Amino acid sequence: MTSRAAGAKARTQYLLIELVRLSGHVRPVSSRVLARKLGISKATMSRWLREAYDSNYISIERGKRGEYLVKLNDKGYSALRGIYSILDSVFSVRSLEGRLIIKGRVFTGMGEGAYYVTRKGYLKAFEELLGKPPFPGTLNLRISSSQDVETVRKWRISCPTAVYIPGFKEEGRTFGFVIALPVIINNVSFCYAIYAERRHYGDEILEIISDRNLREELGLRDGDVLTVQLLLERPVSKGK
């Protein structure tokens, strides 16, 4: 990479970080506000936006007052998350060593798992992860220990093998991105915990996908307590 290209990459990363700080991954941000926060001129802002736009990290549209409205897109969010994962893995993952086994209690969710898991955009990605088509539904676990909830939070944001599944449109409806992270249930079942962009739960809930009906296979009922190993890397084999 040339020094010029490296400089452009660094500027773009700086721009994306400030954009997400201003909630630019949720709603458009005025280029004037962005330039003021970055402490740069209008001309410099235009050049930085062009570099980020050419790299397909942002979308740009004209506002009613003539200013540019900037929003982080899926690729930009993924790039930022990659940077975050690298940095956070240094500061957070090491602090989790020896504390990556938690307990969760089985409960019946809102019944939406089967619908979302079988959407084409998710179905293909889940099948690639699991090596087989996913069971149409999720196993839901509620974590009661505050320490375990904090462990899950740190693991969720720092797991180096988390898989980003981009959002998509299907039948006129928009579906948000999903993050999938590897877990092992009761020391035998390799699965993935999923975190949807439009998730209804906090970190006290784990939603698990598998290629098998875990409730049936493990003979589970609501209230049963399971041991969950939060993985930092995928096992060599996905076997049971």
Q: What is the CATH number of the domain that holds 18?
A: 1.10.10.10
Q: Kindly state whether residue 34 falls inside one of the protein's structural domains.
A: yes
Q: Kindly state whether residue 155 falls inside one of the protein's structural domains.
A: yes
Q: Kindly state whether residue 170 falls inside one of the protein's structural domains.
A: yes
* 172-218 tens-digit pLDDT: 888 888 999 999 999 878 999 999 887 778 889 999 999 999 999 99
Same-domain pairing of 11 and 43: yes
* 107-135 tens-digit pLDDT: 998 777 788 888 888 999 999 999 999 99
Angle between the 42-54 and 3-21 helix axes, to the nearest 10 degrees?
100
Query: Does the predicted TM-score (pTM) go above 0.75?
Result: no
Same-domain pairing of 109 and 217: yes
Listed as own residue / partner, the contacts of 116-119 with beta carbons closer than 8 Å and 24 or more positions apart are: 116/175, 116/196, 117/209, 119/170, 119/175
User: Is residue 90's pLDDT more than 60?
Assistant: no
- Beta bridge mates, 105: 142, 225
> Which residue range forms the structural domain that includes residue 212?
95-230
Rounded to whole angstroms, the Cα distance separating 163 from 161 reads 6
Rounded to whole angstroms, the Cα distance separating 143 from 163 reads 23
- The total of structural domains in the chain comes to 2
Same-domain pairing of 223 and 134: yes
Query: Are residues 16 and 27 in contact, defined by beta-carbon separation less than 8 angstroms?
Result: no
Rounded to whole angstroms, the Cα distance separating 171 from 27 reads 23
User: Is the Cα dihedral 231, 236, 238, 240 positive or negative?
Assistant: negative
Q: Which residues contact 224 (CB under 8 A, 6 or more apart)?
A: 105, 106
Q: Kindly state whether residue 15 falls inside one of the protein's structural domains.
A: yes
